[in-house]
């Protein structure tokens, strides 16, 4: 597993996390290119199915990034997203995949630093965990 | 509505492990409403099963279909063209649906993916509670609209028992004492005296006592 | 408040000057339904800002932030743009002026010129430089995004006009073009002519002009700029080598009594020097090979969050700051370098240091032609030849109906210019009636092509964005890779995608190839999506058939250290966008009527000024105030630095506001809830001691909640009677002058509770309060010793005059270092203060009768947080409201329909608060001028056939929008839906889709990103 470059999907809400990502850009804060952002209007829009699909198609880690607690532009989308993420964690554990591959983060629009920090730390965590086990199995099968 | 919840993944995986192609069938009625077996849960389970299979080094093809209702033969018929070379059908409907599929597709293995739990009502978003056991002889008219059979842990016909404390059942502080609820209702209706009337022991023959039950509407039955 | 009786017989406003300020004013007026004539003396609009490489504090490329504005102003039908035009004369009075305009010949027919560039290529030999470095052909466009998009010819430099005319295939060159005159009836004038940059060649000590490597900051911007003469390569003009040591010298031509120099501070230079040094370090200094040094007197970084920028420059970018004012630069022929000799506080002996390049931070000056203009218009100028305005009427010139903004009012940076531009628009709009609505004319747009049933044909257009994208990734590879994406029918690079040229190119390709979907790989959809949506709509395609891949903010800007990975990522982002747009449907916007009432929160000077401006324009205003009375902090101030009676002004303002028929003042009220969207907000108030509830329906909201006077627990404040704040001192001087007369000595300490770890920003107002109070004390009691202990004296613009005056009056200014703060002890009825005086080079101990602390303002944390939560408005880390765009949208908040004014934005003086209040009113007015609001198309849609009527959406919706209708399925009304998509995510039957974010579109992005990921690993 040398040279393992994890694929990370970050579902970001428009008002906070996506804006924070842009902010990280304007501040030129670097973070690993492994992180690919998919924009949604609210973290509450991210369906559990989207998270599962990303993992099933080969992502090594997935996170949902929404507004800070109590600051959701749509009142409570972020708390619903957090609930879904913890549900998915349990479902993953049930099929023997580490729940830590999925996380929920919150940040405000101005937190470019936090965006970069979360992206870096999550990528490093997944890098340490190694590839998504479904890929490992696929490789072993060859 | 009939409520259900997904079986532990290991159990479902055990069923499908020998298969390479399955049909995963949801139901757009009760199990959709209780978020156990609608289109969305079908999608989630499908992903989870495929990932589990891949992790074990196998491939599993899952075809997802959600029927309007699995407990009606006409809807179940819709599957006929879809069964194809599937090796098994996994149903996310209640037990009625699973059996209907098994009846129609006789040569096919049919597995349940949910445990059918009870007939209940939704208390709030995401929480369902048991309300009826289908005893076949409804008492609600005399118990103020609260069923002692479904909601009293002991199914007492004349309660409460000594385990009722501050309106809660002794089995758990989360369970309301049904007889307390009955009393509150009777009081609210101003018919406290009805509480004094002894309810005779229940004749369980209307329930499961007479074996599997059937309803026949003579005006409708063909 | 310049004039009460307003005549509106003319229907147009004349805006003079096509820089950022003039453009903003023109756009605001046009949006507010006024006809505008925008004149510009140059051949294209854009002004100084388009010459800049990047702007602080975001360090963005300017062209991409301003070009949408330029294109906007070119597109707006209510703006008549006249380039190469100046005012000849003005007659009449406010509301009924007649202006004579003189237009110089361009020698090019704007209607015919296609900007092909043939003429420029045919005559490359006649070149000229502007400003000093930029290669120019006799026919020239100033920068790639020029508006109007046509060339102009410098006929004097052209030896053979006939030959030149033949080059043009469009026959657009008119050799015998002649000046034209035109009279226009106008109601008001906004002057935004800008200023010129100081020419340092008059200062012989700096060798400017004789040494090519001594450049002005504007020339340095051109060297850095991707569209500049070196195409964005940092090289020395003398020998083309990359410099290793660069110095900036601040205050060149400013803060100086030398012949030809200006005594005032030019305000923007500290920040732009920091920016240039940071950009140099960031973009050109691999392995820290370039050393950047700034020689300065005071670092004046006092606007919102600028102090943090200064800290970043020092800490994160390693910009070296030397407090000194060098007067001489000597070329050293041996080393081929430039020697600067300077002295610092640390040692009186002159030191010499050598640099490869020296950048002179030159300030702003009013050119002669503007003095002539003022004469023609009959407006007064101040002693520095800038337009004279009132302390309480910051954008009104001395003549009714004439307003000013930007550099011509005083030296300033872009955000302040933008504030004044919107304020001027607000004031000018009162003189002219709204034009008759030519109902949102759909006939203007070409018919929308019905693409249903067509196979997707996607066009991919990738911006290189100058250096910003193209400088990191291999754009050509990304363009090539895109050709292999399914359904992609065209893929090309478009340079600056937002430039007029590129937008036209995109439209042409759409038509030529019959595209029905578009992917733009460029900057953030947050800033540019609407521009591209308009573009494809103009090309006949539904505007929702475009998707942007954020290659800049989320790729090249953050992965510049790894170009290969960034290139790969760009390809993936393009694939994802293509995957998503392939499944996009044409959508219709949801349009609803606008409520034209206004809610202003906060009854201080800012809130009242905003309320008054809007009420005067006929809008109904609800002005809420938390306390029992209007006035805010300004009600406790007696004098401003100019010496005006603040109390009288405030009492008059309160009186007018309270009696205004269009204003309802609601004191003792707090906001408790809020719902709705711009144009149809509903805000709940709890009012009075009984806390009764009242809901207000309104279309826009202005947040003017102010800030609190800071009272930190430092230097015995609150513990010793002799220790007061500057605000307290203002009251003592006004009400107890005898007490002031009895004082022998007074000390003032700056930056108390500001620029500290707890409150890292500068409070902006304290230096001027200090200078104001010091001058007043010296006036009452000339014998008193007044010591001001400061870190940097921040008196930008003409405030510098007062700083000079205070020094001339004998006020002693002594600088202290943050790690050697003054020591304060109680002694008798007074205070013993000990500090180190760097000029004397020794410790000083003095007994003072009064110690005034410059404590500034802090955000009202509780209030701001509460309101921020209710309105979902973001705040800065120090709890001020965060505006939409710190550079170009300083009074717009990120939630549409919300504007901010006054100290709720950042600490501000009364004058600045009024300007911002008028700007907020002006921006609000642009919104209120509309009759309908467009909610866009992002709403949830229920498929009734799939719906199980389970109520999950009904319960999940944060706004209570879905309901089960008579048909037995869930219904979500488009006018109420906020478009969050929670319902779609929770629906167990997957019966709900959020338009533009449909499940298959999200899945397509996942699939596109992860295409082959499983196999690759295997």
**Delimiting residues of CATH 3.40.50 domain(s) in chain C:** 449-582
- pLDDT digits over A56-102, tens only? 999 999 999 999 887 788 888 999 999 999 999 999 999 999 999 99
Which fold is adopted by the domain C449-582?
Rossmann fold (3.40.50)
- Tokens 């109902």, residue? C439
Q: Does residue C516 carry a pLDDT above 70?
A: yes
pLDDT score of C654 more than 60: yes
**Per-residue tokens: C85:** 């035009």
pLDDT at residue number C139: 40
Span C185-244, pLDDT tens digits:
999 999 999 999 999 998 989 999 899 999 999 899 888 876 667 767 899 999 989 999
Residue C10: pLDDT band (50, 70, 90) is: low
Confidence of residue C45 (pLDDT cuts 50, 70, 90): confident
In words, the CATH class of domain C598-707+859-930 is alpha beta
Judged by average pLDDT, the poorest of C382-396, C528-542, C925-939, C982-996 is C925-939
Contact present, B41 and B30 (Cβ < 8 Å)? no
Alpha-carbon distances, residue C270 vs C52, C61, C310, C328 (angstroms)? 15, 19, 9, 20
Task: Provide the pLDDT for residue C437.
Answer: 54
Of chain A, the percentage scoring pLDDT greater than 90 comes to 73
- DSSP single-letter state for residue C930: -
H helix or E strand, kind and range, residue C332? strand C328-332
Q: Do C448 and C538 form a contact (C-beta atoms < 8 A)?
A: no
State the pLDDT confidence band at C466, using cuts at 50, 70 and 90.
Answer: confident
Q: What is the mean pLDDT of residues B108-128?
A: 95
> Which pLDDT does position C20 carry in this prediction?
86
Annotate C859-879 with DSSP letters as a single string.
--HHHHHHHHHHHT--B-TTS
Q: Calculate the CA C831 to chain-centre distance.
A: 44
pLDDT in tens, C701-713: 999 999 999 999 9
Nearest Cα neighbor of C503 from C489, C514, C518, C484 is C518
C951: distance to nearest CA of chain B, Å? 8
Question: What band does A129 get if pLDDT is binned at 50, 70 and 90?
Answer: very high
Q: What is the mean pLDDT of residues C363-371?
A: 93
DSSP category for residue A18: I
B55 min Cα distance to partner chain A (Å): 4
Rounded distance between C-alpha atoms, residue C84 and residue C106, angstroms: 7
Distance CA C92, CA C187 (A): 10
Kindly state the average pLDDT of the residues C542-546: 96
Q: For domain C709-857, give the CATH number.
A: 3.50.50.60
**Chains with at least 3 CB pairs less than 8 angstroms from chain B:** A, C
- pLDDT at position C69 is 52
Domain C8-104+180-195+367-434 indexed as CATH 3.30.200.20:
no
* Phi–psi pair at C921, nearest 5 degrees: -65, -40
| C485 Cβ contact list (under 8 Å, min separation 6) | C458, C460, C574, C575, C578, C1008
pLDDT for the residue numbered A38? 97
Which residue stretches of A18-57 are H helix? 19-26, 48-56
3-state secondary structure of C975: coil
Tell me the two tokens of residue C609.
């000024």
Q: What is the ipTM of this complex?
A: 0.97
CB–CB contact B33 C988 (8 Å): yes
Q: Which of C309, C226, C267, C217 has the alpha carbon at shortest distance from C886? A: C309
**What pLDDT, on a 0 to 100 scale, did the predictor assign at position A139?**
67
**Chain A residue closest in CA terms to C547:** A39
Instruction: Residues B2-118: name the CATH superfamily.
Output: Response regulator (3.40.50.2300)
How high is the pLDDT of residue C463?
92
Q: Would the CB atoms of A25 and C59 count as touching at under 8 Å?
A: no
Give C835-839 contacts, CB < 8 A, sequence gap 24+.
Answer: C835/C787, C835/C789, C838/C345, C838/C814, C839/C345, C839/C814
Query: Any chain A CB within 8 A of the CB of C732?
Result: no
C441 pLDDT exceeds 60? no
Residue C591 near residue C1006 (C-beta atoms within 8 A):
no
- Best interface-test mutation with A: which of C676, C871, C874, C992 has the largest number of A CBs within 10 A? C874
Q: Residue C866: which of C599, C672, C607, C668 has the closest Cα? A: C672
Per domain, the residue ranges of chain A are 8-141
User: Has residue C374 got a pLDDT over 80?
Assistant: yes
How large is the angle between the packed helices C62-75 and C500-513, nearest 10 degrees? 70
* Closest C-alpha to C415, from C760, C15, C912: C912
Q: Is the pLDDT of residue B103 over 50?
A: yes
Per-residue confidence (pLDDT) for residue B97, from 0 to 100:
97
Contact C170, C75 (CB under 8 A): no
Cβ C56 vs Cβ C272: under 8 Å:
yes
Question: B43 to chain A: nearest residue by CA?
Answer: A49
The fraction of chain C above a pLDDT of 70, given in percent, is: 91
Q: What is the pLDDT of residue C106?
A: 81
Using the predicted structure, report yes or no on whether residue C835 has a pLDDT greater than 80.
yes
How far is Cα C995 from Cα C144, in angstroms, rounded to an integer? 36
Comparing A104-118, C145-159, C270-284, which segment has the lowest mean pLDDT? C145-159
| Overall average pLDDT of the C318-346 stretch | 92
The conformation of residue C580, written as its DSSP 8-state character, comes to H
**What's the rounded mean pLDDT across residues C638-642?**
95
B222 interface with C at CB cutoff 8 Å: no
**∠ CA(A96), CA(A98), CA(A103), 5° rounding?**
140
Give exposure, C990-1011, as e/b (b: 16+ Cβ within 10 Å). bbbbbbbbbbebbbbbbbbbbb
For C386-417, write each residue's pLDDT tens digit: 999 998 999 999 999 999 999 999 999 999 99
The predicted structure's pLDDT at residue A33: 97
Whether the CB of C946 is below 8 Å from some CB of chain B: the reply is yes
Q: Domain A8-141, what architecture? A: 3-Layer(aba) Sandwich (3.40)
Residue extent(s) of CATH 3.50.50.60 domains in chain C:
8-104+180-195+367-434, 197-364, 598-707+859-930, 709-857
Q: Domain residue spans in chain B?
A: 2-118, 134-208
Give the pLDDT band (50/70/90) at residue C552: very high
Average pLDDT score over residue span C476-482? 96
How much is the pLDDT for C61? 47
When the pLDDT of each residue in chain A is averaged and rounded to a whole number, the result is: 92
A40 to C60: CB separation less than 8 angstroms, yes or no: no
> What's the gap in Å between the CA of B15 and the closest CA on chain C?
25
Average pLDDT over residues C725-745: 96
Which segments of C854-945 are extended strands (E)?
857-858, 898-900, 932-934, 940-942
Of C463, C415, C497, C470, residue with least CA distance to C145: C497
Distances C232 to C57, C228, C284, C291, C717 between C-alpha atoms, Å: 20, 6, 10, 19, 53
Query: Using the beta-carbon criterion (under 8 Å), do B13 and A95 form an inter-chain contact?
Result: yes
Which residues of chain C lie closer than 8 angstroms to B54, CB-CB?
1014
Residue C143: what pLDDT?
Answer: 44
| Statement: residue C46 has pLDDT above 90 | no
Which of B1, B30, B32 should we substitute to test contact with C (largest number of C Cβ atoms within 10 Å)? B32
Counting Cα atoms < 13 Å in the Cβ hemisphere of B12 gives: 26
Strand order, beta sheet including C785-790: C723-725, C850-853, C745-749, C785-790, C812-815
C617, C429 Cβ separation under 8 angstroms: yes
Q: Nearest Cβ partner of C988 from B32, B54, B122?
A: B32
Are C14 and C190 spatial neighbours (Cβ–Cβ below 8 Å)? yes
CA C340 – CA C344 distance, rounded (Å): 13
Residue among C582, C460, C584 nearest C521 (CA): C460
CB–CB of C1012/C993 below 8 Å? no
Q: What is the pLDDT of residue C137?
A: 32
Contact flag C989-B66 (C-beta cutoff 8 Å)? yes
pLDDT digits (tens, 9 = 90+) for C58-86: 555 444 455 545 544 445 567 888 888 99
Residue B150 in tokens: 């479904």
pLDDT of residue C332: 93
Strands C932-934 and C970-971: unpaired
Q: What 3-state DSSP class applies to C536?
A: helix
Indicate the fold that domain C940-994 takes in CATH.
Answer: Alpha-Beta Plaits (3.30.70)
Chain C CA closest to residue A79: C982
**Topology of domain C197-364, CATH:** FAD/NAD(P)-binding domain (3.50.50)
CATH number of the structural domain C105-178: 3.30.70
B124 lies within 8 A of chain A by CB? no
């Amino acid at each position: 597993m040398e040279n393992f470059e994890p694929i990370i999907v970050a579902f970001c809400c428009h008002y906070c996390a996506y804006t924070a990502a842009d902010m990280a850009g304007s501040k030129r804060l670097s973070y690993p290119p492994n992180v690919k952002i998919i924009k949604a209007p609210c973290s509450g829009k991210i369906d559990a199915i989207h998270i599962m699909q990303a993992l099933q198609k080969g992502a090594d880690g997935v996170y949902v990034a929404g507004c800070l607690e109590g600051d959701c532009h749509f009142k409570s989308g972020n708390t619903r997203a957090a609930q879904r993420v913890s549900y998915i964690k349990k479902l993953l554990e049930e099929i023997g995949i580490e729940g830590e591959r999925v996380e929920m983060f919150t940040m405000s629009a101005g937190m470019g630093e936090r965006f970069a920090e979360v992206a870096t730390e999550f990528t490093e965590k997944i890098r340490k965990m190694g590839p998504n086990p479904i890929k490992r199995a696929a490789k072993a099968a060859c | 509505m009939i409520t259900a919840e997904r079986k532990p993944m290991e159990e479902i995986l055990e069923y499908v492990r020998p298969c390479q192609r399955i049909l995963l069938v949801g139901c757009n009625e009760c199990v959709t409403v209780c978020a156990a077996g609608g289109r969305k849960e079908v999608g989630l389970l499908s992903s989870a099963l495929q990932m589990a299979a891949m992790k074990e080094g196998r491939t599993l093809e899952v075809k997802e279909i959600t029927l309007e209702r699995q407990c009606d033969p006409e809807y179940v018929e819709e599957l006929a063209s879809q069964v194809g070379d599937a090796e098994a059908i996994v149903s996310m409907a209640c037990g009625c649906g699973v059996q209907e599929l098994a009846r129609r597709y006789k040569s096919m293995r049919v597995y349940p993916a949910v445990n059918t739990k009870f007939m209940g009502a939704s208390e709030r978003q995401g929480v369902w509670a048991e309300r009826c056991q289908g005893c076949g002889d409804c008492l609600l008219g005399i118990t103020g609209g609260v069923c002692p059979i479904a909601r009293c842990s002991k199914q007492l016909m004349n309660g409460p028992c000594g385990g009722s404390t501050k309106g809660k059942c002794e089995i758990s502080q989360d369970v309301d004492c049904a007889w307390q609820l009955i009393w509150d209702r009777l009081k609210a209706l101003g018919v406290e005296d009805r509480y004094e009337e002894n309810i005779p022991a229940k004749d369980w023959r209307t329930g499961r006592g007479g074996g599997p039950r059937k309803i026949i509407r003579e005006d409708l039955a063909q | 408040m310049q004039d009460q009786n307003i005549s509106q017989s003319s229907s147009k406003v004349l805006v003079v000057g096509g820089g950022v300020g003039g453009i903003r004013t023109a756009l605001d007026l046009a949006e507010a339904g006024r006809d505008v004539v925008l004149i510009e003396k140059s051949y294209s609009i854009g002004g100084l800002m388009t010459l800049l490489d990047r702007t602080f504090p975001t360090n963005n490329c300017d062209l991409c932030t301003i070009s949408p504005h330029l294109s906007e102003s070119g597109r707006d039908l209510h703006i008549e743009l006249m380039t190469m035009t100046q005012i000849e004369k003005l007659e009449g009075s406010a509301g009924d002026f007649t202006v004579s305009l003189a237009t110089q010949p361009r020698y090019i027919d704007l209607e015919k010129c296609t900007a092909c560039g043939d003429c420029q290529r045919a005559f490359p030999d006649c070149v000229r430089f502007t400003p000093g470095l930029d290669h120019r052909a006799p026919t020239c466009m100033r920068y790639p995004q020029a508006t109007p998009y046509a060339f102009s010819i410098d006929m004097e430099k052209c030896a053979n006009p006939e030959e030149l005319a033949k080059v043009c295939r469009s026959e657009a060159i008119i050799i015998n073009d002649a000046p034209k005159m035109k009279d226009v009836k106008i109601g008001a004038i906004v002057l935004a002519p800008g200023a010129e940059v100081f020419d340092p060649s008059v200062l012989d000590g700096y060798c400017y002009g004789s040494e090519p490597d001594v450049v002005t900051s504007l020339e340095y911007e051109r060297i850095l700029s991707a569209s500049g003469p070196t195409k964005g390569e940092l090289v020395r003009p003398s020998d083309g080598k990359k410099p290793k040591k660069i110095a900036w010298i601040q205050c060149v031509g400013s803060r100086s009594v030398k012949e030809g120099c200006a005594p005032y501070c030019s305000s923007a230079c500290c920040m732009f020097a920091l920016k240039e040094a940071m950009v140099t370090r960031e973009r050109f200094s691999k392995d820290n090979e370039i050393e950047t040094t700034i020689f300065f007197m005071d670092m004046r970084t006092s606007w919102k969050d600028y102090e943090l920028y200064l800290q970043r420059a020092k800490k994160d970018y390693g910009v070296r700051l030397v407090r000194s004012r060098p007067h001489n630069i000597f070329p050293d022929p041996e080393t081929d370098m430039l020697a600067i000799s300077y002295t610092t506080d640390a040692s009186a002996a002159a030191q010499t240091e050598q640099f490869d390049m020296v950048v002179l931070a030159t300030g702003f000056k009013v050119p002669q032609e503007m003095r002539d203009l003022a004469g023609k218009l009959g407006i007064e100028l101040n002693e520095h030849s800038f337009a004279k305005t009132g302390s309480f009427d910051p954008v009104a010139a001395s003549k009714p109906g004439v307003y000013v903004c930007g550099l011509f009012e005083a030296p300033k940076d872009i955000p302040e210019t933008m504030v004044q531009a919107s304020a001027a628009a607000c004031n000018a709009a009162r003189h002219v009636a709204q034009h008759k609505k030519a109902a949102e004319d759909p006939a203007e747009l070409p018919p929308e092509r019905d693409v249903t049933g067509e196979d997707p044909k996607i066009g991919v257009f990738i911006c290189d964005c100058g250096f910003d994208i193209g400088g990191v990734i291999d754009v050509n590879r990304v363009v090539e890779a895109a050709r292999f994406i399914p359904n992609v029918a065209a893929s090309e690079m478009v340079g600056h995608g937002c430039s007029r040229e590129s937008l036209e190119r995109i439209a042409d390709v759409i038509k030529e190839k019959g595209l029905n979907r578009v992917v733009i790989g460029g900057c953030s959809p947050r800033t540019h999506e609407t521009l591209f949506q308009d573009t494809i709509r103009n090309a006949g395609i539904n505007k929702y058939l475009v998707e942007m891949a954020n290659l800049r903010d989320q790729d090249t800007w953050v992965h510049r250290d790894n170009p290969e990975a960034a290139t790969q990522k760009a390809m993936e982002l393009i694939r994802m966008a293509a995957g998503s747009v392939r499944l996009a449907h044409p959508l219709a916007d949801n349009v609803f009527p606008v409520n034209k009432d206004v809610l202003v929160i906060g009854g201080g000077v800012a809130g009242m000024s905003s309320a008054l401006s809007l009420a005067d324009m006929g809008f109904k205003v609800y002005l809420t105030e938390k306390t029992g009375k209007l006035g805010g902090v300004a009600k406790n101030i007696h004098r401003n630095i100019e010496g005006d009676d603040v109390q009288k002004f405030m009492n008059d303002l309160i009186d007018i506001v309270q009696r205004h028929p269009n204003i309802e003042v609601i004191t003792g009220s707090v906001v408790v809830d809020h719902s709705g969207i711009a144009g149809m907000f509903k805000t709940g108030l709890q009012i009075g001691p009984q806390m009764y509830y009242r809901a207000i329906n309104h279309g826009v909201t202005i947040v003017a909640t102010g800030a609190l006077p800071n009272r930190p627990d430092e230097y015995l404040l609150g513990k010793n009677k002799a220790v007061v704040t500057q605000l307290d001192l203002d009251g003592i001087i006004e009400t107890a002058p005898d007490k002031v007369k009895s004082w022998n000595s007074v000390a003032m300490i700056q930056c108390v509770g500001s620029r500290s770890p707890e409150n890292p920003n500068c409070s902006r107002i304290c230096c001027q309060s200090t200078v104001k109070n010091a001058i007043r004390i010296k006036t009452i009691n000339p014998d008193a010793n007044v010591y001001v202990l400061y870190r940097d004296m921040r008196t930008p613009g003409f405030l510098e005059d007062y700083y000079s005056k205070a020094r001339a009056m004998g006020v002693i200014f002594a600088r202290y270092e943050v790690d050697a703060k003054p020591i304060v002890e109680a002694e008798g009825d007074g205070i013993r203060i000990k500090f180190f005086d760097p000029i004397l080079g020794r410790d000083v101990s003095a007994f003072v009768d009064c110690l005034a602390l410059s404590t500034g303002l802090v955000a009202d944390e509780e209030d701001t947080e509460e309101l921020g939560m209710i309105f979902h408005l973001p705040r800065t880390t120090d709890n001020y409201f965060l505006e939409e765009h710190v550079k170009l949208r300083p009074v717009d908040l990120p939630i549409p329909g919300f504007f901010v004014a006054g100290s709720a934005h950042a600490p501000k003086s009364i004058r600045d608060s009024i300007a911002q209040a008028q700007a907020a009113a002006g921006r609000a007015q642009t919104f209120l001028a509309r009759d309908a609001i467009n909610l866009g198309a992002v709403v949830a849609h229920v498929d009734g056939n799939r719906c199980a009527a389970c109520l999950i959406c009904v319960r999940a919706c944060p706004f209570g929008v879905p309901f089960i209708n008579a048909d037995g399925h869930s219904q979500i009304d488009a006018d109420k839906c906020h478009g969050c998509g929670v319902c779609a995510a929770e629906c167990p039957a997957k019966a709900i889709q959020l338009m533009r974010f449909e499940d298959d579109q999200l899945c397509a992005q996942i699939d596109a990103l992860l295409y082959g990921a499983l196999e690759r690993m295997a």
